[in-house]
């Protein structure tokens, strides 16, 4: 394999691994902010314990997100040096802004949330929780600005420097920041992260109920999670619809590949279930489809024209159709599945049998990874669908790699990353299982109040370390 | 009025100095903890001394990297791709120490804790060493080819000057970490940390002299700015004064002052490195290929936008970071909210 392929595999691996963790922490931070607000307002012990429990799940996830995130921050330079030189004038600013406005905020106040419960008053503790949530959200904003600019570049001009190398130069910062795909992508991604966090808590609470470890804490956790998961699942479809329309307008080839439309024609059907198309044409077996559905959905006119892949006669500029189609359809399929689960959840809640609907609870446990998988598939759609471009229409992916890095170098780092990330994933699952096994009841019932009295002497060596 | 790109040379310098001073003490805590902490309670005291702040400290590196990308994209691209395997090794070291800090206290098993304690030490020491090796190679000048690419690989980075620079940053971090442990702990732990602090300072002085000597015999442009501008001498002189006063402060048991002076020494050495470099960011062996503040910078639009972001954002960051440190001031206690 050549250095381009290896670098692409390494980027795909590092970004899909990394994104699991911010997705979970953004979702959990939202839940922590809600629970902290309840605790602060009501001063009830049950919210205190739930907040501490959520914080522990957050902590083990956050640290892996941080370390795998540093890899991302450096990887543009290590593996994609030509790309970095080309986009740096625009792309660097959102990365630096993410550091200044988001990473400092979240990591500073995570310190208070994890270690300072007893050192600050109730209000500061609440504020710290809210600021961590704000930090994770601002972080999502800036990194999505950077990604969106690669999808739908705006606010720039192409210049040629003294050495004859062309590069993108910023002409309008706000146009670059609010390029056409930033806001649709932000809404869809944030909603997805809330769903990830809510399904996470919902599954864990359901597991406690199934294991007869339910308590006042798990009852509240389950209900909070169901509310957020229900609303979030609905929001996924609204924001997903918005984003698909944006893709249709700005990246029509990606849209055609997502929907498997090869020929530009009127009254195009909406494929529901079917075999994936190949790079050259649709699957031999016709899919289950709604006649004229895609035309109707896209343009609100069942007989309207949809532009197919053939709008670009140069097939070397088509994205990988099979992968784009599959990831998009699987994502939508999982979204439907999750919405169904939430509709049943709402129904059982209305029937006052949420805690006794064993099958629903079991499905809720099994559903924990579903939104994470859907998020990965969504990113796969966005990134694979942009190919062969690294910056849509401006720079080919194959032209963006580092000139001085050899295939051997990338091969070595790829294998090392694979091993380290496998270990990190195992450690994450291990730590989560341990915290979940311990349960929210084990959390110290520190009712919000003034700082605990200072104990001067250090405990002796014999004392066992029940760590955080 | 200095040019925008010179302002950004200074600001990125400040971000990396912020990183060196702050993450310096938690890297250093990792480097010396096997020597100063002899039992489990002491190990946990060391971890709790850095626990609430270490990942905030690491953000200085992330932000410095982002700012370098934004202000001098060619430097970011050339250095990170040129030093490819070294950067990967550095990332591995940073991952190892972070995971060790986080997972060490999850089990009470002795082997488990010993393994993570070793990981914390190894990751921290390797990271501190690699920063110096990288800096050493940059100060010395990289053999960039006519495409502006470094092709020397990992082996090309191992030369006497850079290795000595690696030992210098390793010693500095160990000194900074020891000073932090002295400040944050009590009893035997504190006493031992004071000893590793003094020992690290001796390493720093020896490595600094050696680096200066090697650079002198290499007779390259490292000393040009010192001959040209007397202001450049503030860095090395400030460092010398700070190191001497720090040793005195240790003796007087002025813990906070010693930590501040250790930090001043880091600032002074970073300023020295900055003074040898300017106006270069990445001097090349063939000087015509050097990346300087004048040929590697982003557009004025981008630099101005970034300046606004930094001027709005950084004062707020510094304010709440100070608040967090204030909240966690004083000697560490082992309680339930910790490792």
The pLDDT score that the predictor gives to residue A452 is 38
* Domain assignment of residue B264, yes or no: yes
Rounded mean pLDDT of A197-208?
A: 95
Note which residues in 8-47 of chain B have CB less than 8 A from chain A. Answer: 39-42, 44-45
* Domain assignment of residue B77, yes or no: yes
Domain tally, chain B:
1
Which of B37, B80, B155 to mutate against chain A (most A CBs within 10 Å)? B80
Residue of A nearest to B150 (CA): A404
| H or E segment and range at residue A158 | strand A156-160
CA distance B160 to chain A (A): 24
Cα distances (angstroms) measured from residue B57 to each of A95, A99, A136, B180: 17, 12, 17, 14
Quick one: DSSP state of residue B142? B
Residue keyed to tokens 């559905």: A293
Contacts of B45 in chain A (CB under 8 A): 458
Q: Which residues pair with B142 in a beta bridge?
A: B284
The pLDDT score that the predictor gives to residue B339 is 67
Contact between B149 and A104 using a beta-carbon 8 Å cutoff: no
Distance CA(A409)–CA(A12), nearest Å, equals: 17
CA distance A133 to chain B (A): 16
B306 at interface of A, judged by CB pairs closer than 8 A:
yes
Quick one: DSSP state of residue B328? T
The pLDDT score that the predictor gives to residue B1 is 64
* Domain interval for residue B45: 4-327
Task: Show me where the domains of chain A are located.
Answer: 3-264+307-442
Burial bucket for residue A162 (CB in 10 Å: 0-12, 13-18, 19+): exposed
Note which residues in 148-177 of chain A have CB less than 8 A from chain B. Answer: 162-163, 167, 169-171, 173
What count of CB pairs under 8 Å joins A to B? 270
Rounded mean pLDDT of A120-146?
A: 93
B94 at interface of A, judged by CB pairs closer than 8 A:
yes
* Domain assignment of residue B339, yes or no: no
- How would residue A145 be classed by pLDDT, with cut points 50, 70 and 90? very high
B74 at interface of A, judged by CB pairs closer than 8 A:
yes
Residue keyed to tokens 């009295």: A453
Contact between A96 and B299 using a beta-carbon 8 Å cutoff: no
User: Length of chain A, please?
Assistant: 468
Cis peptide before B279 (omega within 30 of 0): yes
**Pick from A128-132, A170-174, A287-291, A328-332: least confident:** A287-291
The pLDDT score that the predictor gives to residue A215 is 86
Distance CA(A213)–CA(A211), nearest Å, equals: 5
Contacts of B314 in chain A (CB under 8 A): 100
The pLDDT score that the predictor gives to residue B338 is 66
Q: Which residues pair with B291 in a beta bridge?
A: B282
B315 at interface of A, judged by CB pairs closer than 8 A:
no
The pLDDT score that the predictor gives to residue B337 is 59
Which of B36, B39, B87, B106 to mutate against chain A (most A CBs within 10 Å)? B106
Measured at the CA of B13, the angle between CA B9 and CA B18, to 5 degrees, comes to: 155
Rounded mean pLDDT of A208-235?
A: 91
Contacts of A57 in chain B (CB under 8 A): none
Strands A265-266 and A305-306: antiparallel
- Which residues fall within 8 angstroms of residue A14, CB to CB, at 6 or more apart? A68, A71, A72, A75, A417, A421
Measured at the CA of B110, the angle between CA B108 and CA B111, to 5 degrees, comes to: 120
Count of Cβ atoms closer than 10 Å to residue B205 Cβ:
17
* Domain assignment of residue B310, yes or no: yes
The pLDDT score that the predictor gives to residue B251 is 86
3-state secondary structure at position B65 = helix
Contacts of A402 in chain B (CB under 8 A): 77, 81, 84
Which residues of chain B fall below pLDDT 50?
Answer: none
Contacts of B324 in chain A (CB under 8 A): 108-109, 111-112, 116
* Domain assignment of residue B284, yes or no: yes
* Domain assignment of residue B338, yes or no: no
Note which residues in 159-178 of chain B have CB less than 8 A from chain A. Answer: none
A424 at interface of B, judged by CB pairs closer than 8 A:
yes
Distance CA(B173)–CA(B165), nearest Å, equals: 12
Query: Token pair of A227, please?
Result: 């509310």
Contact between A77 and B103 using a beta-carbon 8 Å cutoff: no
* Domain assignment of residue B194, yes or no: yes
CB A209 within 8 A of CB A216: no
Residue of A nearest to B89 (CA): A413
* Domain assignment of residue B190, yes or no: yes
CB A198 within 8 A of CB A229: yes
CA distance B304 to chain A (A): 10
Closest residue by Cα to residue B287 from B153, B150, B141, B81? B141
Q: What is the pLDDT of residues B162-209, one digit of tens each?
A: 999 999 999 999 999 999 999 999 889 999 999 999 999 999 999 999
Contacts of B115 in chain A (CB under 8 A): none
Residue of A nearest to B325 (CA): A108
B76 at interface of A, judged by CB pairs closer than 8 A:
yes
Residue of A nearest to B66 (CA): A96
Q: Is the pLDDT of residue A112 over 80?
A: yes
Cα distances (angstroms) measured from residue B336 to each of A121, A390, B329: 17, 48, 18
The pLDDT score that the predictor gives to residue A455 is 37
Contacts of A175 in chain B (CB under 8 A): none
3-state secondary structure at position B280 = strand
Distance CA(A219)–CA(A295), nearest Å, equals: 45
Contacts of A416 in chain B (CB under 8 A): 88, 92
Q: What is the pLDDT of residues A148-158, one digit of tens each?
A: 999 999 999 99
Contact between A170 and B321 using a beta-carbon 8 Å cutoff: no
């Amino acid at each position: 394999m050549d250095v381009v392929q290896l670098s692409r595999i390494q980027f795909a691996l590092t970004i899909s691994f990394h994104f699991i963790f911010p997705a979970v922490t953004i979702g959990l931070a939202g839940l922590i902010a809600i629970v902290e607000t309840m605790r602060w307002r009501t001063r009830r012990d049950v919210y205190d314990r739930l907040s501490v429990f959520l914080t522990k799940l957050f902590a083990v996830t956050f640290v892996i997100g941080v370390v795998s995130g540093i890899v991302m921050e450096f990887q543009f330079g290590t593996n994609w040096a030509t790309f970095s030189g080309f986009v740096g004038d625009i792309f660097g600013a959102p990365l630096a802004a993410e550091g200044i406005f988001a990473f400092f905020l979240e990591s500073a106040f995570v310190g208070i949330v994890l270690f300072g419960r007893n050192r600050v008053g109730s209000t500061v503790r609440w504020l710290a929780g809210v600021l961590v949530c704000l930090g994770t959200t601002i972080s999502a904003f800036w990194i999505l600005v950077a990604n969106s600019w690669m999808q739908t570049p705006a606010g720039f001009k192409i210049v040629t420097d003294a050495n004859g190398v062309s590069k993108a130069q910023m002409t309008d910062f706000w146009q670059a920041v609010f390029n056409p795909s930033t806001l649709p992508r932000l809404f869809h991604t944030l909603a997805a992260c809330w769903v990830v966090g809510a399904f996470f808590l919902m599954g864990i609470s359901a597991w406690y109920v199934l294991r007869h470890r339910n308590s006042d804490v798990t009852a509240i956790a389950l209900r909070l999670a169901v509310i957020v998961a229900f609303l979030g699942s609905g929001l996924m479809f609204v924001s997903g619809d918005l984003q698909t329309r944006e893709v249709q307008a700005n990246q029509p080839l990606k849209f055609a590949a997502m929907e498997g439309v090869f020929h530009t024609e009127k009254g195009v059907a909406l494929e529901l279930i079917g075999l994936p198309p190949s790079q050259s044409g649709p699957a031999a077996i016709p899919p289950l489809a709604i006649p004229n559905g895609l035309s109707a959905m896209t343009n609100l006119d069942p007989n309207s024209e949809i532009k197919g892949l053939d709008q670009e006669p140069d097939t070397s500029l088509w994205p990988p159709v099979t992968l784009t189609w599959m990831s998009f359809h699987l994502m939508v399929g999982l979204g439907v599945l999750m919405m169904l689960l939430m509709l049943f959840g709402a129904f059982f809640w209305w029937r006052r049998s949420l805690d006794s609907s064993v099958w629903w609870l079991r499905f809720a446990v099994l559903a924990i990874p579903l939104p994470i998988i859907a998020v990965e598939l969504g990113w796969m759609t966005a990134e694979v669908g942009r190919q062969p471009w690294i910056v849509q229409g401006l720079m080919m992916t194959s032209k963006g790699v580092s000139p001085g890095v050899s295939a051997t170098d990338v091969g070595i780092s790829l294998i090392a990353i694979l091993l380290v990330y496998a270990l990190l994933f195992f450690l994450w699952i291990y730590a989560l299982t341990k915290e979940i096994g311990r349960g929210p009841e084990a959390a110290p019932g520190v009712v919000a109040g003034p700082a605990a009295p200072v104990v001067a002497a250090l405990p002796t060596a014999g004392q066992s370390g029940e760590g955080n | 009025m200095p040019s925008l790109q010179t302002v950004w040379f200074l600001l990125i310098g400040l971000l990396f100095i912020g990183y060196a001073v702050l993450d310096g003490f938690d890297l250093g805590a990792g480097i010396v903890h096997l020597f100063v902490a002899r039992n489990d309670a002491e190990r946990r005291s060391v971890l709790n001394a850095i626990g609430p702040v270490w990942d905030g400290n690491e953000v200085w590196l992330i932000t410095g990297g982002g700012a370098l990308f934004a202000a001098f994209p060619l430097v970011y691209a050339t250095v990170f791709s040129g030093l490819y395997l070294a950067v990967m090794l550095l990332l591995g070291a940073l991952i190892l120490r972070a995971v060790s800090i986080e997972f060490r206290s999850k089990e009470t098993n002795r082997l488990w804790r010993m393994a993570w304690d070793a990981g914390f030490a190894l990751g921290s020491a390797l990271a501190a060493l690699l920063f110096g090796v990288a800096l050493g190679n940059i100060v010395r000048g990289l053999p960039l080819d006519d495409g502006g690419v470094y092709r020397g690989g990992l082996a090309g980075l191992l030369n006497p000057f850079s290795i000595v620079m690696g030992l210098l940053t390793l010693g500095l971090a160990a000194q900074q970490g020891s000073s932090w442990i002295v400040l944050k702990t009590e009893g035997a732990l504190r006493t031992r940390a004071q000893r590793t602090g003094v020992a690290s300072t001796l390493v720093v002085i020896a490595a600094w002299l050696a680096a200066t000597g090697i650079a002198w015999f290499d007779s390259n442009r490292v000393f040009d700015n010192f001959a040209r501008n007397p202001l450049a001498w503030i860095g090395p002189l400030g460092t010398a004064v700070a190191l001497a006063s720090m040793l005195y402060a240790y003796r007087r048991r002025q813990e906070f002052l010693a930590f501040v002076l250790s930090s001043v020494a880091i600032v002074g050495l970073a300023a020295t490195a900055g003074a040898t470099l300017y106006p270069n960011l990445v001097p090349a062996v063939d000087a015509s290929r050097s990346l300087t503040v004048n040929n590697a910078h982003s557009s004025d639009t981008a630099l101005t936008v970034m300046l606004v972001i930094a001027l709005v954002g950084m004062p707020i960051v510094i304010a709440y970071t100070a608040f967090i440190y204030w909240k966690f001031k004083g000697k560490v206690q082992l309680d339930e909210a910790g490792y």
